[in-house]
Amino acid sequence: MAQVITAASITIGAVDLSSHIKKITLDSSAAEIETTTFGNTAKRRVGGLRDNKVSIDFNQDFSAATVEASVYPLIGSTAAVIVKPGTAVVSATNPSYTFNVLVTDWTPLDAQVGELASASISWPIDGAITKATA
């Protein structure tokens, strides 16, 4: 059954920023390592190291304990992130994804006259993503 995401839960550095996030993408890929040898009649491959990243679009807010106040101090460091598709308890239908990001950049403001203040990030994940279903 398809699921419509209306209340995802996203915590960055122990601060719940869910109400400020309008889009999140969690990417995970594995390197393609060729293992072809003499005698093979087609290329052979195995999966190598995983490479993970997270991209988030924020509705910006400069108030205390919100987007700017939470993200700006993290530039150049790692931060714990927890993502769930819903706000309910972790389960098979509401898994949590826990990982550390390397906060490589931050553009605190990207807006035009009369538009909503926003900010977008795409940070590499430092290590593995842990998925929990209970």
Gap between the Cα atoms of 8 and 83, Å rounded: 7
Domain extents in the chain: 9-34+42-132
Whether this model's pTM surpasses 0.85: yes
**pLDDT for 40:** 97
Instruction: Give the residue among 134, 104, 97, 98 at the shortest CA–CA distance from 121.
Output: 104
**pLDDT for 27:** 97
Q: Name the helix (H) or strand (E) containing 69.
A: helix 67-71
Residues of the chain falling short of pLDDT 70: none
**pLDDT for 64:** 82
List, in order, residues 6 or more apart from 27 with CB less than 8 Å away: 52, 53, 54, 55
pLDDT, tens digit, 9 for 90 and up, residues 83-111: 999 999 999 999 999 999 999 999 998 88
Check: CB of residue 64 under 8 Å from CB of residue 34. Answer: no
What is the second-level CATH architecture of the domain 9-34+42-132?
Beta Barrel (2.40)
